[in-house]
Homo-oligomer: A and B are copies of this chain.
Amino acid sequence: MAEQNLALVKSALSRQRIETPSWAYGNSGTRFKVFAQAGVPRTVHEKLDDAARVHQHTGVAPLVALHIPWDRTEDYAALAEYAGERGLRLGAINANVFQEDEYKLGSVTNPDPAVRRKALDHLMECADIMDATGSRDLKLWFSDGLNYPGQDDLRARQERLAEALWSVYERLGPDQRLVLEYKLFEPAFYATDVPDWGTSYAHCLKLGPKARVCVDTGHHAPGTNIEFIVAFLLGEQKLGAFDFNSRFYADDDLMVGAADPFQLFRILYEVRAGGGLPGTPESAESDPGIAFMLDQCHNIEPKIPAIIRSVMNVQEATAKALLVDREALRDAQQSGDVLGANAVLMDAYNTDVRPLLGEVREELGADRDPMAAYAASGWAEAIVRDRVGGRQAGWGA
């Protein structure tokens, strides 16, 4: 690869920012069991302390997404300051309208207007928090749906959803956005009110330019071509964010890239091709505005190194995507050379990009080998020693 191109690749890798979710630092599990881990944060501040380690070792993870009410605090400006002192910034605000008893049959789509009102109030509170934290994105995921056919009116629920989204949209400031996540199923087991990208896209289109789709890589039916969705949404200026994770079956929420690293590469290639990576020729000067968030559950593995590994996995896929020889690819595609075009893509995928990323990290002042550096840092031992008593943070707390 020419010297000049390599410089471009490294520059783009240096500019990529990966957002980690506060909840991934806490305990999580399945309906069968949540296994507690020693050293897990007990407060949002301790979550930020852990996030700071991830950023320190990787150099590309300064943003931390919050989840309300799990990260509710008295003074969000102070929290933002606390983050800033650790080299971090507060990222997306994630609303939670699925963990109170009233939401058993839905939140913004509930047949009961009082419940809808309560849910909307929470969304508005989240918008207020965004004002305080300076967050750009309000991330909306609704667990709303049905377990049984006939349980509620599918179309009426769409109308209730549209109404709530519109109220939120109107509330947003000029630099704030709403990103609407979709999910095939779980916790609803018959129908979900935003089951697929088409539904999210249709709502975002009606709302306007500040509404965008969030693609959680674990929320699709088996066989879904996720990179197609990414390419389509990017072309329509409607891709807002990723929730990265990986899955073999359903919404397994494993470390991103763990189940299908080739798929992750293909997704990031489409992000690059569609101009979604800042600092590449494809994105030109414009800011594509794609948030690269992780959304994972580290049920059995230690949280912090799992998040570091996930950040690295996104970087490796991105590096390979950047190494694709676009000119050679276009030539092969234009001439109908099926094997040749596929080979161009695979050449990049088969490259071992770990040395290259080691260099990028060093230039960023981070660690060539973040996993080893974290292991050597003593942090894991320190938190086990120090974080005694109190109530561990966890999914739902």
Contact = CB atoms under 8 A, between A and B. Distances in A.
A333 interface: yes
Given A201-B202, A262-B261, A151 B342 contact: yes
A248 B223 contact: yes
A383 interface: no
Given A158-B232, A195-B228, A301-B148, A185 B250 contact: yes
Contacts of A334: 111
Interface string A41-67: 000000000000000000000000000
A266 interface: yes
A388 interface: no
A185 B248 contact: yes
Contacts of A228: 154, 191, 195
Contacts of A345: 149-150
A166 B153 CA distance: 35
A266 to B, nearest CB: 5
A384 to B, nearest CB: 15
Contacts of A274: 155
A82 interface: no
B153 A105 contact: no
For this chain, the copies found in one complex come to: 4
Nearest to A345: B150
A300 interface: yes
A359 interface: no
How many chain A residues sit at the interface, stated as a range, is 35 or more
Interface stretch (A6-14, A168-176, A348-356): A348-356
Nearest to A201: B198
A148 B254 contact: yes
A99 interface: yes
A158 B232 CA distance: 8
A350 B354 contact: yes
Contacts of A197: 196, 198
A258 interface: yes
A170 to B, nearest CB: 22
B189 A339 contact: no
Interface in A339-375: 339, 341-346, 349-352, 354, 371
B346 A259 contact: no
A369 to B, nearest CB: 11
A225 B248 contact: yes
A21 to B, nearest CB: 15
Interface in A161-212: 184-187, 189-192, 195-199, 201-202, 205
Contacts of A154: 227-228, 231-232, 270, 273
A153 B273 contact: yes
A32 B153 contact: no
A111 B189 CA distance: 35
16 contacts: A28-B31, A30-B186, A35-B101, A105-B338, A150-B332, A154-B231, A159-B235, A189-B248, A196-B224, A220-B221, A221-B223, A222-B222, A260-B262, A260-B263, A300-B338, A309-B339
Interface of A: 28-33, 35-36, 98-99, 101, 103-105, 111-112, 143, 147-155, 158-159, 184-187, 189-192, 195-199, 201-202, 205, 220-225, 227-229, 231-232, 234-236, 247-250, 252, 254-255, 258-263, 266, 270, 273-274, 299-302, 305-306, 309, 316, 329-330, 332-334, 336, 338-339, 341-346, 349-352, 354, 371, 395-396
Given A105-B336, A185-B250, 10 more contacts: A30-B187, A32-B396, A105-B300, A147-B300, A148-B255, A155-B270, A159-B235, A185-B248, A222-B223, A250-B250
